[in-house]
Amino acid sequence: MKHILFTKELLLLVVAVFVMIATSCIKEDLDQCYTLKLKVENIKGDDITEYGWMESTDLYIFDENLNYLEKRRLDKNFIRSRNEIVLDGYTADRSLRIVAWGNVNALGEKQSVSEAQTIEDLKVMLKSQDGLAVTPDSLYYGSEQVLTKAGGVAKETEIVIRPKVGTVTIETRGLQEQLGRMGLRSSVDCDFYLNNTLSGFDYRGTQIGDSVYYNPEGAWNESGVEWITPTMQTACPGQDMAVSISANGVSLGSAKVDENGDPIYTSAGENTHLILEWGEGGTLSVRATVRPWGVVEEDIPMH
């Protein structure tokens, strides 16, 4: 009887091992499914995958004819741990195009993603009303063609995603004097405005859409005399932009170039710091500094 029971247990073990082999990807034989990893880089090309700045990443998968197949979502822990992405269900004789978008709607519904039947349908667009756009999430983008050959994947594959938006910080100098010139209370709240950029991206990560402007968050500084952005404010990349400030609908000044006559701009993976300063006659000038973000000592902005 013991011999019969042992034989049955051995047969069950053999069957279980066979099922595992038949339904999983083995590193020595990748005919059954693709495997790849996600890598997050800053604008300088530094690997920042493990710092946990990526809340989630959506993989949009298309076939050889660029028809939509499915979407896979990777969460923060999966990305940070550099886990292997297993695209099961696809044989080794196929070619897949994968478009990756990171941090889309990580902090609420800030972007809309079009339903894709083909790859050209895939668009990530900022939500806006009457030209005023919601500040985007800290979007990252990447694309990869997964090519295979008989016997498995042709090479060890990574999908690399990099920043697609920039940020802006703004502060005033001499605001109280300008409020006095305009006959406004010294404690009146102000509004920053930044324009213009395009409103979205296509499947290539190229900017598309309508021209939009932003109303970055503002607050009084600690001393209560200057108006500032309390954190880095995200914005799509834009050239020849304008910055302005108003209070109670009254314009306090605007500028399209900095104090050197150079255009004001935002670029992916960099922060544009603007100092708005009024001269004695109330003329506004702008000092602009642009520097990369996403390095180890800086936080990735998620606003």
Per-residue pLDDT reduced to its tens digit, 174-220:
999 999 999 999 999 999 999 999 999 999 999 999 999 999 999 99
β-partners of residue 271 are 167, 291
The proportion of the chain whose per-residue pLDDT surpasses 90, expressed as a percent, equals 74
Confidence of residue 148 (pLDDT cuts 50, 70, 90): low
Rounded to the nearest integer, the mean pLDDT of the chain is 87
Distance of CA 22 to the CA centre of its chain: 38
> Closest Cα to residue 301, out of 195, 165, 161, 205?
165
Tell me the one-letter amino acid at 143: S
The reported pLDDT for the residue numbered 295 is 43
pLDDT tens track for 111-132: 999 988 999 999 999 999 999 9
Confidence of residue 247 (pLDDT cuts 50, 70, 90): very high
d(CA 58, CA 63): 17
> Closest Cα to residue 32, out of 19, 44, 45?
19
pLDDT tens track for 256-285: 999 999 999 999 999 999 999 999 889 999
pLDDT tens track for 72-84: 999 999 999 999 9
Q: DSSP state, 67?
A: B
The reported pLDDT for the residue numbered 146 is 85
Judge residue 150's burial from the number of C-beta atoms within 10 Å of its C-beta, 0-12 exposed, 13-18 middle, 19 or more buried. Answer: exposed
The proportion of the chain whose per-residue pLDDT surpasses 70, expressed as a percent, equals 82
Q: Which domains does the chain have, with CATH numbers?
A: 27-163 (2.60.40.2100), 166-292 (2.60.40)
Quick one: CA dihedral 289, 290, 292, 298, positive or negative? positive
Tokens for 32, please give them: 């059954």
d(CA 255, CA 283): 10
Q: DSSP state, 78?
A: H
Do residues 94 and 33 make contact, with C-beta atoms less than 8 angstroms apart?
no
Tokens for 157, please give them: 């594959």
β-partners of residue 37 are 158
The reported pLDDT for the residue numbered 102 is 97
The reported pLDDT for the residue numbered 107 is 76
Tokens for 235, please give them: 């914005």
Largest CA distance in the chain: 104
Query: What 3 state SS string does 218-284 have?
Result: CEECCCCCCEECCCCEEECCEEEEEEEEEECCEEEEEECECCCCCEEEECCCEEEEEEEEECCCCCE
d(CA 119, CA 271): 31
pLDDT over 50 (residue 90): yes
Confidence of residue 303 (pLDDT cuts 50, 70, 90): very low
Tokens for 126, please give them: 């900022």
d(CA 205, CA 188): 40
| Distance, first Cα to last Cα, the chain | 69
The reported pLDDT for the residue numbered 29 is 47
Tell me the one-letter amino acid at 249: G
